[in-house]
Structure 1
Amino acid sequence: MQEYQPYESPAYPVTFAVDYPDRQLNRLTSFFRLFVAIPIFIVLGSVAGGTWQWSYDQGEAAAAGAGGLLFFGPLLLIVFRQKYPRWWFDWNLELQRFANRVGIYVLLMNDRYPSTDDHQSVHLDYRYPEVRTELNRWLPLVKWLLAIPHYIVLFFLHIGLLVAVIVTWFAVLFTGRYPRGLFDYAEGVLRWQNRVTGYAVTLVTDQYPPFRLGP
């Protein structure tokens, strides 16, 4: 006889987790983490959005820019065509994954240098939406406004995250370990941030983000 399994509500469409480094972390790279991360910052900046401008002797100027999360393009197509090009979706997801790998490295949550393609210890995912049935075509116009309460909460959570990272920096230098409670807090803040980004920026879900750090 099959055992009854109680119904559980589905998790939020944007999922995020980081593997806890249950080992000794590299004290040397942790001490100089901001300096060691400069090369990957440059790489991330080259694909996450930037503008460069230069001038010639004749006074002419030229500018170039590239990258960044795609927002206006998906917004316009959801509103007017009720579609979300798959390659735009994939770009946003992979760019978020890369940015999070750099983020957890800076936050000392991993001492392995961020990869440009391997997922490493970061697990970020969201399902490709069926736009016509799952996304309200007009909601993207106001999601940035609806998300304001989350922006306010995240402002204070990031202040706490800064304090947590400073405490962790000393803990890693003296013990080589990341305090588990502080790790869970940092992971929770990043999870919250990614949920809000998925809702208000990459527009992959209409389900309002929960006010919680946990899954």
Structure 2
Amino acid sequence: MKAGKVIAAIVGAFFALLALGVLIGGGALLIAQQTLQDDAGFFNSPSYRLDAGGYAIVVDEIDLASYPGDWWPSDVDATARLSVRAGNGSGVFVGIGRQEDVDEFLSGVAHSVVRQLGDRWDAVRLVDRAGGSVAGIPADAGIWSSSIQGEGEQILSWEPQRGRWAIVIMNADASERVSISAIASARIPILRPISIGLLVAGILLAAFASLLLIAATRSSVTPSQTGESPLDRGAFPTTVAGKLDEGLSPVLWLIKWFLVIPHCFMLAFLWAGFAILTFFAWIAILFTGRYPRGIFNFNVGVLRWTWRVGFYTYNALGTDRYPPFTLRDVDYPARFDVAYPERLSRGLALVKWWLLAIPHYIIVGLFTSGLYAWTMGSHATDNAATKVGGGLILILTIIAGFILMFTGRYPRGLFDLLMGLNRWALRLASYVALMHDEYPPFRLDMGGEEPSSSGKVK
């Protein structure tokens, strides 16, 4: 790959990762507005039950850009709301004031400070402060930026301002023992234009990244011109091959996780590009029935790169040769390719990547992360020992590593089994990435090479 294409691939992958983050952020923000806001545009907390034996319940240290130099969006329209209902049926007072004024007002007064709010009523934690009674009713204190009192549900609305604030909840007559239920709410209208702006920016970044990535993978060079041996294809469009090297180091596998950190860094960017380009390919298939060749080459290259790294490390430990930093098919013990489809079904593109692939997702999930998933399902995650686990591929690879360490040999049968498991997973990956319409078979084709159309390993 020429230097210009390398630079285009790196820059494109960076912008793809950036675009993916921006799109996820904008989409999540927009979904939150659609699903979590009420009819008035407020985000609402759960209802909290607060009971205190003193004269007040305080939510203190609400710091809104109180320090010099702190940025504060003074032109942003925002509203905070607190809905409070007295649990004992009496009148309730709710006020918000400057922290220093509230501290002075409650100095020497028995009250409780909120220190924890969970998603359940029993997750609330109050810290009691000793003291005596309050002097006078709270409504006459003259320190409130906003306040309200009365019987039944009381709703305090307040436009946030710069400073340190505290919320005080008391009985309206300043009597002892405060018992209330409360819901906190916030309305920030600017969130909608922000989310739309993020989505637009993400789409533009994704388009720019796609152009760079497609340009980086365009090539008129054939394998015969590069001296690479052609892959022996099987009956399935996806070809997964691996050659077990002789003389593997008994201990190198212990540090391969560290050696591939540069590859993991690169793959994080490349997979962001993969996700974005697959979406664009999906749109193209729906309208044209064709998978854009430039996107196809890039996505196959990402899967190929991932397979080489996995073959070197903890998907197989099949070689000690360090994986090359390239998307192209080069001379390496692990090979991967997908036959380019001339036409693809528009209808299958709508369902094959999620609905049709569900049975395979379950099976491949056991290969890659099954034990962790099962411990999660058994509600045993509070036990640290049950959190340590992995899929069948990882477990078998670690077993192979220990056998190699103590005997100096890699059992051929175990390698063939690992190749079959990885082949199944990669066939599924190419299918759900829309690269072909052929449904992955429910069989374990073991061995380093693809089986022929007759089902025999070549």
Normalised-by-shorter TM-score class: 0.7 to 0.9
| 2:298 aligned counterpart, secondary structure | helix
Structure 2: 5+ residue stretches without partners = 1-233, 369-390, 446-450, 452-458
Cα distance in 2 between the residues matched to 1:44 and 1:172: 28
Cα offset, 1:199, TM superposition: 1.2
| 2:392 aligned counterpart, secondary structure | helix
Cα offset, 1:119, TM superposition: 4.4
Cα distance in 1 between the residues matched to 2:296 and 2:392: 31
Is the 2:400–2:410 Cα contact (8 Å) retained in structure 1?
yes
Q: Tell me how many residue pairs correspond in the alignment.
A: 184
Name the residue aligned to 1:97.
Answer: 304
Is the 1:31–1:173 Cα contact (8 Å) retained in structure 2?
no
Cα distance in 1 between the residues matched to 2:251 and 2:300: 32
| 2:335 aligned counterpart, secondary structure | strand
Cα distance in 1 between the residues matched to 2:255 and 2:408: 14
Cα offset, 1:149, TM superposition: 0.2
Cα distance in 1 between the residues matched to 2:251 and 2:402: 12
Supply the AA of the counterpart residue of 2:235.
A
Supply the AA of the counterpart residue of 2:439.
Y
Supply the AA of the counterpart residue of 2:440.
P
Cα offset, 1:177, TM superposition: 2.5
Name the residue aligned to 2:243.
Answer: 19
Larger Rg: 2
Name the residue aligned to 2:254.
Answer: 31
- Counterpart mapping for 1:10-159 below 5 A: 11-21=235-245, 23-49=246-272, 67-69=273-275, 70-107=277-314, 108-117=317-326, 118-131=330-343, 135-143=344-352, 144-158=354-368, 159=391
Cα offset, 1:94, TM superposition: 1.1
Supply the AA of the counterpart residue of 1:97.
R
Bigger relative CO (Cα 8 Å, ≥ 6 apart): 1
| 2:422 aligned counterpart, secondary structure | helix
Cα distance in 1 between the residues matched to 2:312 and 2:426: 16
1:207 equivalenced with 2:438 (yes/no) = yes
Cα distance in 2 between the residues matched to 1:95 and 1:42: 13
Name the residue aligned to 1:171.
Answer: 403
Cα offset, 1:28, TM superposition: 3.5
TM-score for both structures, normalised by structure 2: 0.39
- Counterpart mapping for 1:189-208 below 5 A: 189-201=421-433, 203-208=434-439
Cα distance in 2 between the residues matched to 1:157 and 1:83: 32
Cα offset, 1:164, TM superposition: 0.6
Runs of 4+ in structure 1 over 6 Å off: none
| 1:181 aligned counterpart, secondary structure | helix
* CA-based RMSD: 1.6
Supply the AA of the counterpart residue of 1:14.
T
Structure with the higher fraction of residues in helix conformation: 1
Is the 2:307–2:334 Cα contact (8 Å) retained in structure 1?
yes
Supply the AA of the counterpart residue of 1:153.
I
Is the 2:286–2:346 Cα contact (8 Å) retained in structure 1?
yes
Supply the AA of the counterpart residue of 1:120.
Y
Is the 2:430–2:436 Cα contact (8 Å) retained in structure 1?
yes
Structure 1: 5+ residue stretches without partners = 1-9, 50-66
